[in-house]
Amino acid sequence: MDNMQNIQWFPGHMTKTRRAITRDLSLVDAVIEVLDARIPLSSRNPDIAALIGNTPSVILLNKCDMADPAATRRWVDALSGDRTAALAVNCKTGLGVDKLQPLLQRLLSDKLDGLRRKGMLNPSMRAMIVGIPNVGKSTFINRIAGRNKAKASDRPGVTRGNQWFTVSKGFEILDTPGVLWPKFDDPQVGERLAFTGAIKDNIMDIELLAVRLLDLLRVLRPTAFIERFRLSDEELMLSSYDLLSLIASRRGMLVRGGEADTERASAMLLDEFRSSKLGRITLELPS
Ligand code: G4P
């Protein structure tokens, strides 16, 4: 995955985003961090925990419709703590999203009670959204806020480009335009983001990517994958490249001379993984 290592960070942008997040944190009570439930580690910006510090946060394990439900339950447990709650959601259908507001109310109960004691009748909760590209932030905002957008310019002290959305009376969310990058310098992270389609695969060797995905699938052995390609236990013991050739032949993907068209099979395999045809698969588990 040498190509992955060629993707460079933009240190200037990162510093700017970091500064913007730190500044925006002073405007909110909580952070909503969106992750991809299939790869909760690889889809997490490596600096985010340090940046958020003690601010209460809700981690949304989004795209849970494509992840293994048992693995997602383990992640919800592993990521939940005193100041952090985790929630499995499918922002495309809205599944689980209605649990967010009560969860935030619970996380912020001390603060909200304090404000009520001071005489504020309906103290509002403000949360900001963070997440690397493609985890589903826009889908989440559309789902939760619909068209209830408030113009950023309506509010004093708000960074240009930031957008406030009113979810309901007493609950507002801030979408930040700063791009948070994943941990690109770790080739494994790059691969996993590429498997899910978060990184375009035209920047890397597609056969190598498919072979690396098969390395994982051979170990995870998702039923839908095994049944789809009618793979026996012996066949699952083949090297990943030989397995790719077998899958190509089984699908009738041959080049002239009758050899397996592994390039076409690679594109097909990645496509089927991304559309969940190989099953609901989580590629990373909590340690
Ligand atoms: P971003 O703002 O964080 O960059 O992500 P965005 O909302 O644009 O979502 C990225 C892709 O993920 C979109 O697919 C979106 O539909 C999909 N997505 C978001 N949430 C979920 C979910 O819970 N489940 C599933 N299965 N998919 C989800 P796309 O192919 O880029 O666009 P589209 O063809 O769906 O419009």
Ligand 1 binding pocket mutation candidate from 139, 176, 200 (most atoms within 8 A of CB): 139
Cα–Cα distance between 205 and 221 in angstroms, integer?
A: 24
**Ligand 1 centroid from CA 193, angstroms:** 14
Q: Give the residue whose CA is nearest to atom 24 of ligand 1.
A: 63
What is the per-residue pLDDT for 200?
A: 76
276 within ligand 1 shell (Cβ under 6 A): no
Q: Give the residue whose CA is nearest to atom 4 of ligand 1.
A: 134
Q: What is the pTM of this model?
A: 0.91
Residue 134 is encoded by which pair of tokens? 């493609």
Task: Identify whether the C-beta of residue 247 lies closer than 8 Å to the C-beta of residue 261.
Answer: no
Task: Identify whether the C-beta of residue 47 lies closer than 8 Å to the C-beta of residue 182.
Answer: no
Task: Identify whether the C-beta of residue 112 lies closer than 8 Å to the C-beta of residue 125.
Answer: yes
Cα–Cα distance between 123 and 106 in angstroms, integer?
A: 14
Q: Which ligand 1 atom minimizes the distance to the CA of 131?
A: 3
182 within ligand 1 shell (Cβ under 6 A): no
60 within ligand 1 shell (Cβ under 6 A): no
Q: Which ligand 1 atom minimizes the distance to the CA of 66?
A: 26
Q: Which ligand 1 atom minimizes the distance to the CA of 90?
A: 23
Ligand 1 binding pocket mutation candidate from 60, 92, 140 (most atoms within 8 A of CB): 92
Residues of 64-98 as b/e, b for ≥16 C-beta within 10 angstroms? bbbbbeebbeebbeebeeeebbbbbbbbeeeebbe
CB atoms within 10 A of CB 200: 8
Query: Mean pLDDT, 10 residues at a time, over the chain (287 residues)?
Result: 47 76 93 97 92 95 98 98 96 96 95 93 92 93 74 46 85 84 86 90 84 96 96 96 97 94 97 97 96
Helices H / strands E in the chain, number of each = 13, 7
What is the per-residue pLDDT for 3?
A: 46
**Ligand 1 centroid from CA 11, angstroms:** 27
**Ligand 1 centroid from CA 269, angstroms:** 20
Q: Which ligand 1 atom minimizes the distance to the CA of 132?
A: 3
What is the per-residue pLDDT for 1?
A: 44
